[in-house]
Amino acid sequence: MQEYVPGLAGIPAARSKISYLDGQKGILEYRGIRIDILAEKSSFVETAYLLLFEKLPTRPALEKFSQDIIAHRKIKYRITDLMKYLPEHGHPMDALQAAVAALGMFYPAKDVLNPQVQYDSVVRLVAKLPTIIAAFVRLRRGDDHILPREDLGHAANFLYMLTGKVPEPMMAEILDVCLILHAEHTMNASTFSGRVTASTLADAYTVVSSAIGTLMGPLHGGASEEVVTMLREIGTAANVRPYISKKLTGHQKIMGLGHREYKVKDPRAIILQKLAQQLFAKYGRSPLYEIAEEIERIGAELLSTKGVYPNVDFYSGTVYEKLGIEPDLFTPVFAMGRVVGWLAHWLEQLKDNELVRPTQIYEGTHDQTYVPIEKRN
């Protein structure tokens, strides 16, 4: 009798050298380098190179990779036209998935084992996701989308395309760190989805589109948006304890608390909380952050024995909000960072590919009689 493990919890689905986490000690590493070190010393583009190409780049290699990304930031007008016809009230994640899937039609990349095709696909996807997101947001308001600038960094250019204003350096730097934190996280749901798609030898655009679809759910990338909704619903720090008590009594999930892997505070949440504090010190404290702090305090009091602590989604929303990013963009911004991890796993899957085809435990009946329609009850 085969054992059924709900959600494939703890079941290895691949051998990987991309990232590592220890949920008991709160450790996350990209290619062996701890996330706190990368957040302090690296940039998103450099971290992307590390994840994709298995080592930190030399200065010339980083310069070439950066320039290649900059050169591919623009999107074709037909992609823009496609987004113009999408419902303005639709979620940006749906628009992002549609646009990414369409990219594959404009940049045929079916020869997925060709190194040049792989590189071109990687560069285009990393470069164009921010442009697609910013363009859709402006188009749904009835505004023209803003062309990317070649003189701005990855995060700064996104904020510029979103608002039409060059962001203050601190804001761009903080968003850059956020993208590093979201770039990769072992075999999460969207990465697994992407690897399953990759195992069929689908192109990178299809792989990323499938991963985006998986990221949409509130139990994965959509949780950061749900956290801000929860904070606004609570309203004040004084309301936190009764809110949590009601949730616990009803056996309901508290968004942003708990993680399948971490039994201590998510190391990314620790970094995000510091980023939030830096932002608030310069631009003013958010009332939502005070509520979040109170949730963490009461959560530690009531749930620490169960290993339930803040995860990456808990503080990310308060940071994004202070950066002027709308709540329904939180998950697309997550995707802007995570696309690097998805693509790293795509490349890794192709190196020693085996079609992913799990089995099932059948619990239905056998040898049923076919009943003609006129005799059915």
What residues are labeled active site? 259, 313
The residues facing 19 across adjacent strands are: 30
Contact 276, 315 (CB under 8 A): yes
Closest listed residue to residue 289, CA positions, set 280, 300, 298, 301:
280
DSSP-based three-state secondary structure for 257: strand
What single letter denotes the amino acid at residue 36? Answer: D
Q: Which residue type sits at 145?
A: H
348: Cβ–Cβ under 8 A, 6 or more apart, which residues? 14, 16, 17, 18
Closest CA relative to residue 178, chosen from 309, 335, 342: 335
